[in-house]
């Protein structure tokens, strides 16, 4: 099914999660190039659209190769306007295949429950197709809003305080 020319992956009462498209570079840059959305990202915001192009190419490759990946997120009221990105993709963590849960939204979408709603929808769509695959979220220790959201979604911090190669705390769905 499609809406506004986009392939719908999952729907909620307020949101549409769709497969990214080749022409989503501006949406990727708007979210990932914003300094505020990258406050906790040690790599900082994208400075050039070429960085967003490379990220989008990765998103598109995930979908083509795996049939799952990060989604664009829009409200039902404005299905053609991307407000963020959320979803899961295959990742390897300590030699274990896992899903990595991801969510990043424009500041105008913060505080409205969109990230939790989108993440739940993405998980509900992906997990039945890949049963038994663990879900993780890799979050910097100082990113308290993201850590709280991961915990509301049912992920718990590693009890031993383990981190990944980028020093992000590992949260895991039990």
Q: For residue range 135-160, what is the model confidence (pLDDT) as tens digits?
A: 999 999 999 999 999 999 999 999 99
* Full set of structural domains in the chain with CATH: 2-172 (3.40.630.30)
The mean pLDDT value of the chain amounts to 96
Burial class (CB in 10 A: 0-12, 13-18, 19+), 23: exposed
Q: Is the entire prediction scored with pTM above 0.75?
A: yes
Measure the CA–CA gap between 91 and 102, rounded to whole angstroms. Answer: 11
Given a contact cutoff of 8 angstroms between Cβ atoms, the answer to whether 39 and 140 are in contact is: no
Cα 11 to chain centroid, rounded: 15
Q: For residue range 28-87, what is the model confidence (pLDDT) as tens digits?
A: 999 999 999 999 988 899 999 999 999 999 999 999 999 999 999 999 999 999 999 999
Q: For residue range 159-173, what is the model confidence (pLDDT) as tens digits?
A: 999 999 999 999 999
Strands 96-105, 70-75: pairing is: unpaired
């Amino acid at each position: 099914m499609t809406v506004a020319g986009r392939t719908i992956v999952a729907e909620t009462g307020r949101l549409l999660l769709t497969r990214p498209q080749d022409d989503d570079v501006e949406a990727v840059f708007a979210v990932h190039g914003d300094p505020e959305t990258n406050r906790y990202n040690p790599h900082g915001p994208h400075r050039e659209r070429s960085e967003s192009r490379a990220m989008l190419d990765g998103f598109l490759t995930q979908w083509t190769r795996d049939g799952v990946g990060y989604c664009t997120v829009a409200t039902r009221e404005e299905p053609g306007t991307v407000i963020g990105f959320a979803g899961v993709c295959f990742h390897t963590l300590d030699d274990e295949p896992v899903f990595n849960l991801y969510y990043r939204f424009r500041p105008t979408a913060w505080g409205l429950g969109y990230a939790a709603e989108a993440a739940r929808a993405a998980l509900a769509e992906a997990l039945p197709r890949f049963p038994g695959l663990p879900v993780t979220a890799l979050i910097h220790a100082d990113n308290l809003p993201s850590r709280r959201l991961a915990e509301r979604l049912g992920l718990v911090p590693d009890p031993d305080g383990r981190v990944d190669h980028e020093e992000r705390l590992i949260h895991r769905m039990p």
